[in-house]
């Protein structure tokens, strides 16, 4: 363990923990959003191809 951690005030450690949890949640949500966006783009490609075929 780092020496400065032993001397850090409890409130500082609690805030650091809160921020770390919040950051982890944002990364988790961002990964889900990236996946959803990718699926949406794939759907757009298929939709465009279907439209192109129906216009023939």
Lowest mean pLDDT among 26-30, 37-41, 52-56: 52-56
Query: 37-52 as b/e, with b when 16 or more CB fall inside 10 Å?
Result: eeeeeeeeeeeeeeee
- Residue 56, pLDDT score: 80
- Whole-prediction pTM: 0.57
Which residue intervals of 1-56 are DSSP H helices?
3-7, 10-54
What is the C-alpha to C-alpha distance for residues 16 and 10, in angstroms, rounded to an integer?
Answer: 10
């Amino acid at each position: 363990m780092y020496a400065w951690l032993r001397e850090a005030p409890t409130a500082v450690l609690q805030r650091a923990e809160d921020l770390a949890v919040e950051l982890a949640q944002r990364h988790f949500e961002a990964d889900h959003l990236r996946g959803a966006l990718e699926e949406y783009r794939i759907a757009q490609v298929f939709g465009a191809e279907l439209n192109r075929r129906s216009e023939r």
